[in-house]
Structure 1
Amino acid sequence: MKTIFYNSEGIPYAYTEDTINIYTFEGTPVAYIDIDDIYAFSGAHLGFFEDGYFWDHNGDVLLFTDTTRFGCGPLKPKKSLKPVRALKTRKPLKGTKESKPLKPLKSRHWSMYSPEDLLKIYV
């Protein structure tokens, strides 16, 4: 099942087709999901995936999906149309995982980071 990740403006940013590997619509692999943790392929712990939201280390929402649970997180914006997906590039090898931090309390705020800030620096 394909899951699309939207940013705080409702613009589709990334997707997963296998519920594990996350790609941008340009075809770049940017992260992967391990149970409820999100890691960069370098092994850096980026955040948590719960209730259909990508939560950052501050407990704020970076991205949301269509499966978000009502009552969690900030108000979602109207979603934009999905762009055409480019061909996927090869996934990098997974690095050694960092120790994950304690989960923060969840907020109803959008993250101060943009997806580009958090995800693309680890590609």
Structure 2
Amino acid sequence: MFQNLDVFRTAMAMARHAGEQQALSAQNIANADTPGYRAKDLPAFEDTLRGSLIGQKATRDKHLNGSTERSVQVLERQEEMDPNGNTVSLELEMVNAVDAKREHDRALAIYRNSLSVIRASLGRT
């Protein structure tokens, strides 16, 4: 009955994606004045999740034709370049950081509520 609980894996992947986005936002903000620095960004969580469901997935290290590591491609922003070649927008980074926090909070809420449903179904509230 409880062998395949994808909701927990999805919530964990969402929280991990939010953490990676937060780290990229911090890196971009730290390099806001670096000449020639290209801001980095992640694709939306929905796109990365959809891509991971299509490809093969390894369940152990020696599993053939699969990968145990996530391969999310970090994108470089090309638009709105400053005169010094920098593409960091502090306003956009603040918005991205808030979105990452909301995504992380949503992932934790999904995880907590799923645990509550399982506890209620087992009679352990």
TM-score, normalised to structure 1, is 0.20
As a proportion of its length, which structure holds more helix?
2
TM-score, normalised to structure 2, is 0.20
As a proportion of its length, which structure holds more strand?
1
Q: Which has the higher contact order (CA 8 A, sep 6+)?
A: 2
